[in-house]
Amino acid sequence: MAGKRDRISEDKAKRIALGATVAGVLLIVFLIVILIIQFVQIGVRRSELAKLKEEIAQYEQMNELSRADLEWYRNGLGLYLTARKYGWT
């Protein structure tokens, strides 16, 4: 009687194998979905980083132009010419 309890029937062994296979496949699919999501997030972050770098470059260029204008007005000639343009003497 103890020998019968230790053995599993062939049908039960097939069901266990099928369940383990399904669980393994589901795990692999789940991991693949997570991997795809991670790749998409990496792509989005890289795109955001590229946009931010472009904005930084634009602001640096605007800063340089503003400094040039500031120097032009500081030396007095720019201020004088602007005043003359608007009718000041």
The interaxial angle of helices 77-85 and 10-74, nearest 10 deg, is 80
Do 73 and 79 meet the contact criterion of CB atoms below 8 Å apart? Answer: yes
Residues whose CB falls within 8 Å of the CB of residue 8, separated by 6 or more in sequence, listed in order: 16
Q: Is 90 exceeded by the pLDDT of residue 63?
A: yes
pLDDT, position 68: 84
**pLDDT tier, 6 (very low <50, low <70, confident <90, very high otherwise):** low
Q: What is the pLDDT of residue 14?
A: 92
Cα gap 75→30, rounded to integer Å: 68
**Distance (Å, whole) CA 1 – CA 11:** 20
The pLDDT of residue 4 is 57
pLDDT in tens, 10-59: 889 999 999 999 999 999 999 999 999 999 999 999 999 999 999 999 99
